[in-house]
Amino acid sequence: MSMILGYIKEREISFLFFLLLVLLVIVLWNLYKKEKKRAEAAELSVAGERKYYGAFVKERKDFFIYFRKEDLRILYISPNFQHITGIASKLMYEDIEVLNTLYTHTTRRRIQGKINDWDKRDSLEFECDYKKRGSEVIEFCDFVLRDFDHRNVAFVSAKFLFYWAKWSV
């Protein structure tokens, strides 16, 4: 034992450096494992959300738009969006205001008035008319607004269903 202690005493700086290096490796390894676990949990959460919202796509009469309320940035549009509205998804990603082309000026004003009067406690439901882009046929839809705490979702279809809320990224 005295031989080992003597060796350590002679090479004290080297031994101390080695111990610090081992400690650093242990700390970095633990940080790596924590980050890896957090990333896997986030990935599972995103996959679960995609699966949940993808279930809406199965009904061809409906589509939904997933967006942030603060800046109306579109995060996801279901694949059958163009089929229902006649508006290319690419146009929607560039400018959400393209949705206004579905409604007449009178309908837009009526929708805005109802949204302004809404108390956000219950859902806001009413019927409105719209025209598919490139079509002259007027169709009717149910327009439903709901306010959630965690994200914005707009679900639009022959029954237009919009969910508005705060998005936390």
60-165: what fold?
A: Beta-Lactamase (3.30.450)
Report for 45-59, 66-80, 86-100: range of highest mean pLDDT: 86-100
Mean pLDDT of 112-127: 75
Q: Which two tokens stand for residue 40?
A: 């896997």
| pLDDT value, residue 144 | 65
Confirm if 107 and 98 have CB atoms less than 8 A apart: no
The 10 Å CB-count burial string (b at 16+, else e) for 57-88 is: eeeeebbbbbbbeeeeebeebbebbbebbebe
Reported pTM: 0.46
The structure tokens 């607004």 sit at 145
Q: What is the mean pLDDT of the chain?
A: 74
**Domain assignments of the chain as residue spans, ordered by start:** 1-58, 60-165
pLDDT over 80 at 53, yes or no = no
* pLDDT tier at 161, thresholds 50, 70, 90: very low
Whole-number Å distance between alpha carbons of 15 and 33: 27
Q: Which pLDDT score is estimated for 43?
A: 82
Mean pLDDT of all residues in 123-144: 76
pLDDT tens for 3-36 read 877 777 777 878 788 889 999 999 999 999 999 9
